[in-house]
Amino acid sequence: NAGVTQTPKFQVLKTGQSMTLQCAQDMNHEYMSWYRQDPGMGLRLIHYSVGAGITDQGEVPNGYNVSRSTTEDFPLRLLSAAPSQTSVYFCASSLLAGPTDTQYFGPGTRLTVL
């Protein structure tokens, strides 16, 4: 099993550009989520999905879109990048949502918006 994979590992964008961060898992997990990590802020939930076709907003959803057409993939789209979106982005998955399920994190995508 590859676990949770994320691409690209690094990305530099100019303000106003759009892009998609890819996330895939091969563990047949129902729950997937996206976080951003900024210095001194811990991880903040952007969007999450409890299964294919179902998505919902997290703590900081503005400026980001998601979709979940398959169980395996959960891409995160930046519609018009802004410098405030410079961050490290982590995708995570767990078998089910809930307090006792283990969340597995990908290695992250380091995004810089100029």
Partner 1 sequence: TQLLEQSPQFLSIQEGENLTVYCNSSSVFSSLQWYRQEPGEGPVLLVTVVTGGEVKKLKRLTFQFGDARKDSSLHITAAQPGDTGLYLCAGDGDNFNKFYFGSGTKLNVKP
Phi then psi for 55, rounded to 5 degrees?
A: -135, 160
Q: Which of residues 79-98 bind partner 1 (CB under 8 A)?
A: 90, 92, 97-98
> Rule CB under 8 A: is residue 74 a binding residue for partner 1?
no
- CA geometry: angle 88, 91, 97, nearest 5 deg: 140
Q: Which of residues 12-71 bind partner 1 (CB under 8 A)?
A: 31, 33, 35, 40-45, 48, 50, 56, 58-59
| Nearer Cβ to partner 1 (50/52) | 50
Whole-number minimum distance, CB 91 to partner 1, in Å?
Answer: 8
Given a contact cutoff of 8 angstroms between Cβ atoms, the answer to whether 17 and 9 are in contact is no
**C-alpha dist (Å) from residue 100 to 91, 95, 96, 97, 110:** 18, 10, 9, 8, 29
Q: What share of the chain is helix, strand, coil (3-state, %, to 5)?
A: 5, 50, 45
Q: Exactly one of 23, 60, 106, 111 binds partner 1 (CB under 8 A); which one?
A: 106
Q: Which residues bind partner 1 (CB under 8 A)?
A: 4, 31, 33, 35, 40-45, 48, 50, 56, 58-59, 90, 92, 97-100, 102-108
